[in-house]
Amino acid sequence: MSKGNLDVLNEYVRNARLKPALLAGLPLGMLAASLGLSSSVLLAALSGPLAIAGVTYFLAHLSRDWGVRKQVDLFRRWGGKPSVSKLRHRDNSLNQHTRARYHAKGKELLGYSMPTAAAEAADPAAADSLYEAYSNLLLERTRDTKVFRLLFEELIGYGFRRNLLGMRFLGLTIAIVSSVFQSALLLRKFHVAGQIEISQAVFLGVDLLLLLCWLFVITPSWVRHSAEAYGERLLAASEGLSATGATRGSKPAKSPRRNAKGSSGTVEPGVPGEPAKSEST
């Protein structure tokens, strides 16, 4: 497992995995502040050790695992990964001439001719197997996050939305419970002091806004929009690749330096923000 998979400071992990988990738990932090725990010596004493113990690391993995489980269901409902389904002749989301261009590039990079419409209709599973192989090849060939920056940003956006959807039930539950408690605290303060506590009113407003987002914004269709965008960007990135392994427009790699014994030094390949195939579209 690469360091890029583990480091919560990694751009993909931070934005696509950790942030959805923190957003789901945000109402709990605001509730703690309403209860006066923000100034608690005990909480301050524990916050550092908890982070060191791997709480952020755990949250990132929890978000990722729940998102991947949700992704399996989404792909089943959508009829496959967008980067695969868009290569099908029967798919209408791409212009037929654009698809023909991608098929030609697929033959160049993969070494196999893409199925014709008749062959695909006769054996859809065999056609999808070839499309899947081509999609996997593109994932491997576009791991340079600097060269394929736009693709990487689409991947982060998709991962963020997918993982949010994976945590939807937890986030919705926390938002509801926190809203109830914040309302009770607000009414209690008004009953005792005869005035509304501004901070609690703001916290309640944020809780209600999050509740609406979990209900009406964070939906499968919202995730699909991003998945489709990433799938299209992945296929479009193929036109910058060549069968020799070089990326068009990139500078040729420098020859590795020789060590004192005359042997070549080992050059470790760059680690992308999202290396796992199971998380890609």
Per-residue pLDDT, averaged over 164-188, amounts to 96
Rounded distance between C-alpha atoms, residue 130 and residue 121, angstroms: 14
- Has residue 266 got a pLDDT over 50? no
Give residue 278's pLDDT: 45
Residue 247, phi then psi, degrees to nearest 5: -100, 125
Mean pLDDT (the chain) is: 84
Structure tokens of 33? Answer: 């502040």
pLDDT for residue 46 is more than 80: no
Q: Residue 166's pLDDT is what?
A: 98
Least confident of 132-141, 145-154, 225-234, 259-268: 259-268
pLDDT of residue 51: 52
Q: What is the DSSP track for the chain?
A: --HHHH-TTSHHIIIIIIHHHHHHHHHHHHHHHHTTGGG-HHHHHHHHHHHHTTHHHHHHHHHHHHHHHHHHHHHHHHTS-HHHHTTSTT--SS-HHHHHHHHHHHHHHHSSPPPPHHHHHH-HHHHHHHHHHHHHHHHHHT--TTTTHHHHHHHHHHHHHHHHHHTHHHHHHHHHHHHHHHHHHHHHHHHHHSS--HHHHHHHHHHHHHHHHHHHTSSHHHHHHHHHHHHHHHHHHGGGB-TTSPBTTPPPPPPPPB-TTSPBPP-PPPPPS---GGG--
- Output the CA–CA distances (angstroms, integers) from residue 250 to 136, 155, 245, 253, in the order listed: 22, 22, 11, 9
Q: How many degrees, rounded to 5, is the angle at CA 269 between CA 279 and CA 243?
A: 80
What pLDDT is attached to residue 18? 93
What is the torsional sign of CA 174, 177, 183, 186? negative
Q: How far apart are CA 17 and CA 64, in angstroms?
A: 6
Q: How confident is the model at residue 49 (pLDDT cuts 50, 70, 90)?
A: low
> How far is residue 168's CA from residue 66's CA, in Å, rounded to a whole number?
10
Which pair of structure tokens corresponds to residue 37?
Answer: 């725990």
**What is the pTM (predicted TM-score) of this model?**
0.83
Question: How far is Cα 72 from Cα 166, in angstroms, rounded to an integer?
Answer: 11
Place of tokens 């996997």: 136
pLDDT tier for residue 260 given thresholds of 50, 70 and 90:
very low
Average pLDDT over residues 196-219: 94
**If you average pLDDT over residues 210-226, what whole number do you get?**
98
pLDDT digits (tens, 9 = 90+) for 110-132: 999 999 999 999 999 999 999 99
User: Ranked by mean pLDDT, which of 103-107, 198-202, 255-259 comes out on top?
Assistant: 103-107
From CA 273, how far away is CA 179, in angstroms rounded? 35
The confidence score (pLDDT) of residue 33 equals: 84
